[in-house]
Structure 1
Amino acid sequence: MGLLQGATYEAYRSELLKRYKHLLRSLGNKLSPEKTKLVRDAFDMSARAHEGTVRKSGEPYIFHPLAVAEIAVSELGLGVTSVVCALLHDVVEDTDITLEDIEHRFGPKITSIIDGLTKISTVFEIVEKDQSIQAENFKKILLTLGEDLRVILIKLCDRLHNMRTLGAVSENTKLKIASETLFIYAPLAYRLGLNAIKTEMEDIALKFTNLAMYHEISEKLAETKNTRQRYIKEFIDPLKIELDKSGLHIVEIKGRPKSIYSIYQKMNKQQIPFEEVYDAFAIRVVVESPLYLEKTDCWKVYSIISDMYRSHTNRLRDWLSHPKSNGYSALHTTVLGPKRRWIEVQIRSKRMEDIAERGLAAHWRYKAGANQSISTPQDTAFENWLDSVKETLSNSDLSAMDLVSEFRSSLLGEEIHVFTPKGDVKGLPIGSTALDFAFSIHTEIGNRTIGAKVNNKLVSIKSVLKNGDIVEILTTIKDRVTRDWLEVVTTASAKSKIREALKAERTQKANQGKLLVERLFRKHQLNFNDSNIKKLISHFKYPLSAEFFHTVAEGQIRLNRELLFSIITKKILPLETIESPKIDTGNPRLKAKKNIAHIIIGEDHELPYALSKCCNPLPGDPIFGFVTVGEGIKIHRTTCPGATRLMSQYGYRIVSAGWQNDGYQKSFETSIAVKGIDDIGIVSRITDIISRDMEVNMKSINILSNEDGTFGGRIELMIYDLLHLEQLIEKIKATHRYIQVKRED
């Protein structure tokens, strides 16, 4: 319902009032007269503060906070306090209104949330020499998780609306914001249980980072819609009859396609076309049950389904007793449906369904309306995850970049559940080791771990755990922490605890070194004071006394009487030390690179540039430039595997780039992966097409036959441009019905 820039003031006021009334209707029975006045005051303050300001889309700016507030209440189910904060979330940063003004009118609770939102900036510029503001921004976002979670929930609503209106900004900004969203906001929404928001963010981000793939998947979903609906009906109709007989109160049973982004991920990970994604949709069964009967009723539904359709024994996922750390709880099973097709079925209660879509917000609402003495598995899952977040954030030694990197790893991936010998359950990310498990039990146990028994078999601390393992940790009396352990563990929590232990050990060593130096001073009747210590530290060129004392304790600096007197009394005497390695802090010289005449750089064009080897861009590929340290500008494809990380963490070093037709052809390196059903002469036909028909030079070829009757391999080529490559791929595909060809880099 956008307003045109030339619209009259009356039309603007009418539209504004219409949207405000819609917000009030969405709040519904949450509003008392006092709360209605609170929302009205926040709306009036925001409207006055943003009056005359427009967004890049041309809409009045006030429509944005109204939209954020609407998302908060309609899509997350948040209350009046969150709506007030959503309406005011930009006023301190963008207008003359101060936190004092807000506290005077709305009190300390709302002011605290607004302060948290204000600290989360969205400016793209350099903070320090080697960090972009996005990393500091993410760090501030993560810090709010340890305070009031409404800050991050409102921030996610804000980001979702920005994604919905992303079409109005420049292409470069679209790429940066979309990449940033995929890098941290969507995983964060997932970890908070906000599945609907996470899914929409990912789909929109894919649209702006890989438009061709987005259109391909969405078009194929549309093309197969009727076939898919017929199949779902064929599966559901007999199931409904059996469920009705059971007496269970089934609220919903329907089929729904997986998100575009999740299908894209599956195609990308498994290197398969859309047609081979067998679980492009799933069946969902939702049962209405009282809390104490939820698990029982879900298992009853499972029993009915598995009686009708053969279940896949390795594809049962029980998140009823042990929910994911984001609170997600359900039964997932894969069954062999009509036409011998495997199909995923998700079984949940109505409460679980609401929490699956609205996450923490729905969880709080159910807690508020239920008996507080009744604890659900979601309570433990949420609390354990938040505790691990706070523990990670408490590590002050981590830079913003390191913190974001470690925290992001805790947001992604599925979980396993392993057991202690007493039967207690621990949830850990897939890929966790025995040492991760040890630290999840207790810091002291982790610090003293020497090995483990997994299912009663001795294993090392590096052993990767599997779902259902029974793990017993073996310890020694003394701490055994080493820096190598940081490479053994995968969880942010364990890494944080190891760093703390290393820091404590270093401090202890420094104290030992200080004591050694003090004894030496007293032995030779020298004053152990700040002045003499500074002379000593300055002589050895250490920035901090703790580092110097630590080096002494390690035995890397040997002090004696002659050396001390030469330093303290300025007498030149022989120096006896073991020197530390020297660090070259000078700026590296730029290596000269031969410019590629086909590329135009938007800015910093005086720097040399080269095509990045990680993705080998071809003319016609959407590209961007990344300003490196010492190697000029590297040109990447926007779909490069590392593009999301670069744009998210180093936005200030991204420059626009494009291809220029300079009238002559130049070959570029790329590679293709081929696989298919093996046949006599198939490789010969492929190479003939490449070298004879398409006149393409092959740098290398590596194709092998497999025992299962298939072949596969990789061919490195020299190609003119993207169109040239696409024509070659289509020509190879046409040689055989069962052959797959795709660009690999």
Structure 2
Amino acid sequence: MSTTKQTNISASDKSLISDLDNQIRSYVQANGTDKDADLLDQAITDIRKHHGHQLRKSGQPFIIHPLRVASSICRAGLDAPTVVAALLHDIIEDTKITHKDIHERYGSWYADIVTGLTKIKKPVRQKSVTADNLDATYQRMLKTMVQDVRALFIKLFDRLDNMRDMDAMPRDKQRRISLETLNIYVPIAERLGLTRICQEHTELCFKLLYPKRYKKTLKEIDELKKDRISTINAMQDSLRFNIEKQKLPFHKIEPLFVHPASRIQESGPIDHILEGFRIVVKNSLDCFQALGIIHTNYYVIPLKIRDYISNPLWNGYEGIQTELRIEGEQTCIEIVSEEMLKKNQYGIMAHWHGSPTELADYYQIYLSQLDQMAGDEEVRMLDVMSYVQSDQIQVYSPKGDMLVFPKGATVLDFAYGIHSELGNHCIGALVNPSSVSTTKKRVPRERQLFAGEALQIITDPGIHPREEWLKQVKTAKSRSQIKKAVEHQKVINARNSGRALLERKLREIGTEQDVEKWIKSKVVKEALKAENLSANKFFQEIGLQKRPLQQFLRKYKLLHFERTGRLKEMISPVFWGNIFGGDKNIFLIDDVQNPLIKLASCCFPIPGDKISGFIHDDKEIEIHLANCSKKILKNKSSPPKIIPIAVSWKISKKISRSHVIHLLVIDGTGILFQITKIIKDAGVAIINSATAAKNEKEADIRIKLESVTWPVFHKIVEKLRPLKFVKQIWEEPPQES
């Protein structure tokens, strides 16, 4: 937001710069150390030197902006180092000063804070990467804020000053920055309990995004105040009279009017002007006494009392809320102490004692959630926006520790929120386990959390994360932990499969050594070294059939042909191939639940289908129908870590079990009749069925069949697939035992 044109500074701007300079110096002198004062002098000198020739779009000297941001930090009561960092926050972005320069002149903390608040600029002639640069900027900023929350305060005041000075910006930039502010910085300020900052940000966005509606809203609010002021004054006098009658000391009773910021998403007419009344007393005990007084003098609306003194909201809000009828009108009442009011409006800045650790502890829950996002490379800014804008619920561990989750989070999110291993083996939870009730309510892991409840997680060591679990969680942390566990399990399964294959091979060729001794033998170590393989990687590759074991053993003469040569002559080549796998490398599928395989979601093959396979990242084999149009073909465009492999079914035709099939169909008449007729013609009974509308044109039909063999099930599916109204058909994974 700067230009480099040099002009004379007006007398009013000179006076403003001088006043801000004096305010900042006085604050640091009173609240900082001698070293802080020296760094402040240095910072003011540096910004005068490097920003002195720059102008804002408004025509003001650019130096006014960092001075105003630093002045806001002073008024917020933050520490002297934060004031210095605020002065320097734009110096890397808008001048030739670098991270190294800041590090040498001020130290590593200042260099990291300023760099974290600096935009990542897009490369020349690469307009298409703007979104990626924006995400990279947010990720950097997020990491900096998590490391030191003071960076977040600098950014909020920086954005607030920019929004106040937005009139001179082009219309498209006004809209872009306002939307960014509304979607990201406003929710963050709200989550931190910075009500005043949140409201001002929102009102400025309203003014810039919808200027006509904003002016109309101000006019409506003013007119409604004039129309209702006599009634509101009478209600206020009634409250004051009843509290004074009981001789309870109080600071003030004030009406709470509709704020313009609350109307930014509302285009209709304003139907009320009074939000309620706030009663401000001396301390928390007086809050409860005030509640008793008004509850004995007015009609109380049932189930509307909220005690946030005993149980504060996680962003720090404290107070009592209730609803009454005063002068025949239903009205909200907020009761707070003077200290609570300051904290509710300004967050921790209202009572902070200068310790960065105190700041971090106060916002520990919030920052820990952001930290999960900052540490996950797959998380985009949309995930962060979703988190900061989501409603939050508070739940408790059996020991009474409070945890906060976004609305819609599940028992599984709660388990992962406590510890990854607890989540990895979670099967459900007991709700309110310490209650006096003799029967404890048990719920499954996918059940959503409700505010205020306590949970005790139930685990089973035999249960491990599966990809379906990703649909059962809400938080970025849970998704990240599940993905890691599933990927790790795939690697372990591949290695175990390879180890078992090698053990069988060693027994067949008559080797007396077990796998561990064989793999550590000198000749095998040399073979693995020649192939640039570790023992674990070798097991993984032969387990996935990516590396044919037979060829490897022959190549390095590890088969001991002197032991097997005469035997090989005595039996047919076909029989010999069945024992050793032959030269053709085929992966035989003997169980659809084999953790090494993944049935492709695009075509959902089942035993009996002609199939193709592809090794993914040396971790699993993805199975497609042989004629699947979406399967990965072996050509130049194939990803380097995806390798085609021959696969075949080897599942016993005698195995019988129940199947649950889903059909995504184009909704219409007679559909269910045609589907059920095919199933009944196959001689199979339907245990139950259910239909759920996906949208106006599509529906999901779920059918549970009696226990049948794979050939019978395949026959049914083969006849269902060609139906014109069937878009997709798949089998639901068997439930965990």
Same fold (TM over 0.5): yes
Partner residue in 2 for 1:260: 260
- Mapped partners of 1:247, 1:447: distance in 2: 58
Contact map agreement 2:498 2:541 (CA 8 A) in 1: no
Superposition map of 1:119-134 within 5 A? 120-121=119-120, 131-134=131-134
Measured after TM superposition, the shift of residue 20 of structure 1 is 2.2
Q: Which residue of 1 aligns with 2:474?
A: 490
Find the residue that maps to 2:370 and give its secondary structure: helix
Among candidates 269, 272, 276, match of residue 274 of structure 1: 269
Residue number in structure 2 paired with 1:542: none
Structure 1 stretch displaced more, 407-416 or 327-336: 407-416
Distance in 2 separating the partners of 1:80 and 1:247: 44
Cα offset, 1:515, TM superposition: 4.9
Superposed CA deviations along residues 124-160 of structure 1, whole A, max 9, x for unmatched, are 9969869432211111121123312111210111111
Q: How does 1:432-511 map to 2 (within 5 A)?
A: 432-454=409-431, 456-509=440-493, 511=495
Match of residue 223 from structure 1? 223
Q: Secondary structure at the match of 1:78?
A: coil
Q: Is the 8 A contact 1:146 1:390 kept in 2?
A: yes
Describe the shift of the 1:117–1:367 C-alpha distance in structure 2 as closer, same or farther (beyond 3 A): closer
Q: Is the alpha carbon distance of 1:444 and 1:381 closer, same or farther for their aligned partners in structure 2, counting shifts above 3 Å?
A: farther
**Which residue number corresponds to residue 155 of structure 1?**
155
* Larger relative contact order (CA 8 Å, sep ≥ 6): 1
1:471 to 1:249, Cα distance in 2 relative to 1, 3 A? same
Partners of 2:297 and 2:466 in 1: CA distance: 55
Aligned partners of 1:77 and 1:362 also within 8 Å: yes
Paired residue secondary structure (2:176): helix
Change (3 A) 1:515 1:282: farther
Q: Tell me the equivalent position of 2:371.
A: 390
Distance 1:461 1:30, change over 3 A: same
Change (3 A) 1:460 1:39: same
Q: Deviations over 1:308-338 (max 9, x none)?
A: 3333333333322332222222222232333
> What's the TM-score once normalised by structure 2's chain length?
0.65
Distance in structure 1 (CA, Å) of the matches to 2:635 and 2:188: 39
**What residue number does 1:346 align with?**
334
Larger mean Cα displacement after TM superposition, 171-180 or 240-249? 240-249
1:533 CA displacement: 6.1
Question: Deviation per CA, 1:631-681, whole angstroms, max 9, x where unpaired?
Answer: xxxxxxxxxxxxxxxxxxxxxxxxxxxxxxxxxxxxxxxxxxxxxxxxxxx
Q: Aligned-pair distance for 1:262?
A: 2.5
Shift of 1:281: 2.3
Give the aligned residue type for 1:285: I
Question: 1:201: Cα distance to partner?
Answer: 1.5
Relative to 1, partners in 2 of residues 1:423 and 1:113: Cα closer, same or farther, differing over 3 Å?
Answer: closer
Deviations 1:338-363 (A, max 9, x none): 332x3222222222222222223334
- Cα deviation, 1:225-281, whole Å, max 9, x if unaligned, reads 22344343222222223334555543332123343343344x47xxxx3344x5762
SS at match of 1:237: helix
Q: May I ask how many residue pairs the two structures share in their alignment?
A: 550
* Matched residue type, 1:532: E
Asked if the contact 2:394–2:451 (Cα under 8 Å) also holds between the matched residues in 1, the reply is yes
Partner Cα separation in structure 2 for residue 282 and residue 80 of structure 1: 39
Following the alignment from structure 2 to structure 1, what is the Cα–Cα distance between the partners of residues 557 and 252?
83
SS at match of 1:490: coil
Give ranges in structure 2 of 5+ residues lacking alignment: 433-439, 510-522, 559-581, 588-611, 615-623, 625-630, 638-737
Question: Does 1:334 find its partner at 2:323?
Answer: yes
The structure with the larger Rg is 2
Residue 306 of structure 1 corresponds to 295
- Is 1:185 the counterpart of 2:185? The answer is yes
CA RMSD in angstroms, aligned pairs only: 4.2
Any idea what SS the aligned residue of 2:117 has? helix
Question: Amino acid of the residue matched to residue 141 of structure 2?
Answer: I
Instruction: Tell me the distance in 2 between the aligned counterparts of 1:352 and 1:204.
Output: 26
> Matches of residues 273-672 of structure 1 in structure 2 within 5 Å?
273-276=268-271, 281-289=275-283, 294=284, 296-340=285-329, 342-365=330-353, 382-395=363-376, 398-399=377-378, 402-420=379-397, 425-454=402-431, 456-509=440-493, 511-512=495-496, 515=499, 528-529=527-528, 532=531, 553=543, 559-561=548-550, 574-577=584-587, 579-580=613-614, 582-583=631-632
SS at match of 2:56: coil
1:201 aligned residue: 201
**How many Å apart are 1:32 and its aligned residue?**
7.0
Query: Counterpart amino acid of 1:287?
Result: V
Give yes or no for contact 1:320–1:329 (8 Å, CA) kept in 2. yes
How far apart, CA to CA, are the structure 2 residues paired with 1:551 and 1:131? 38
CA distance in 2, matches of 1:105, 1:366: 24
Alignment deviations for residues 161-205 of structure 1 (CA, whole Å, 9 cap, x no partner): 111112222222122211211222111222222222222222222
Letter of the 1:318 partner, please give it: D
What corresponds to 1:44 in structure 2? 45
Distance in 1, matches of 2:192 and 2:95, equals: 31
Matched residues in 1 for 2:181 and 2:89: separation? 19
- Cα distance change of structure 1 residues 320 and 380 upon mapping to structure 2, 3 Å threshold: farther
Question: Structure 1 residues 78 and 249 mapped into 2: Cα distance closer, same or farther (>3 Å)?
Answer: farther
- Matched to 2:64, the amino acid is F
Change (3 A) 1:163 1:522: farther
Q: Deviations over 1:72-95 (max 9, x none)?
A: 222x22232222111111112322
Distance 1:405 1:109 in 2: 29
Measure, in 2, the Cα distance between the counterparts of 1:148 and 1:32: 20
The whole-number CA distance in structure 2 between the counterparts of 1:38 and 1:116 is 20
CA distance in 2, matches of 1:556, 1:346: 68
Letter in 1 for 2:531: N
Which residues of 2 match residues 95-174 of structure 1 at below 5 A?
95-118=95-118, 120-121=119-120, 131-174=131-174
Q: Residues 16, 385 of structure 1: CA spacing in aligned structure 2 closer, same or farther, 3 A cutoff? A: closer
Report the Cα distance in structure 2 between the residues aligned to 1:139 and 1:454, rounded to whole angstroms.
37
Indicate how the Cα distance of structure 1 residues 440 and 507 shifts in structure 2: closer, same or farther if over 3 A, else same.
same
Structure 2 CA distance for aligned equivalents of residues 310 and 28 of structure 1: 54
Q: Is the 8 A contact 1:124 1:134 kept in 2?
A: no
Deviation at 1:117, TM superposition (A): 2.6
Q: Is the 8 A contact 1:124 1:132 kept in 2?
A: no
Cα displacement (A) at 1:49? 1.0
Give aligned-pair identity as a percent.
Answer: 27
Contact 2:148/2:360 (<8 A) preserved? no
SS of 1:365's equivalent? Answer: coil
Contact 1:513 1:551 in 2 (8 A): no
DSSP-derived class of the 1:175 partner: helix
- Give the 3 Å change call, closer, same or farther, for CA 80–426 of structure 1 in structure 2: closer
**1:61-72 equivalence runs, <5 A:** 61-72=62-73
Call closer, same or farther: CA 1:256–1:459 in 2, change over 3 Å: same
Paired residue type of 2:443: V
Does 505-514 or 410-419 show the bigger shift? 505-514
SS of corresponding position for 1:274: coil
Letter aligned with residue 423 of structure 2: G
SS of the aligned residue for 1:345 comes to strand
Residues in 2 aligned to 1:229 and 1:5: alpha-carbon distance in whole angstroms: 52
Query: How far apart in 1 are the matches of 2:24 and 2:303?
Result: 47
CA distance in structure 1 between the partners assigned to 2:182 and 2:45 by the alignment: 34
Q: Contact (CA 8 Å) 2:20, 2:71: kept in 1 or not?
A: no
Cα distance in structure 2, aligned partners of 1:585 and 1:127: 33
Q: Are residues 452 and 516 of structure 1, via their aligned partners in 2, closer, same or farther at CA, if it must alter by over 3 Å?
A: same
Deviations 1:93-135 (A, max 9, x none): 32233445444544444344333333x4476996986943221
- Mapped to 1, the partners of 2:120 and 2:238 lie a distance apart of 54
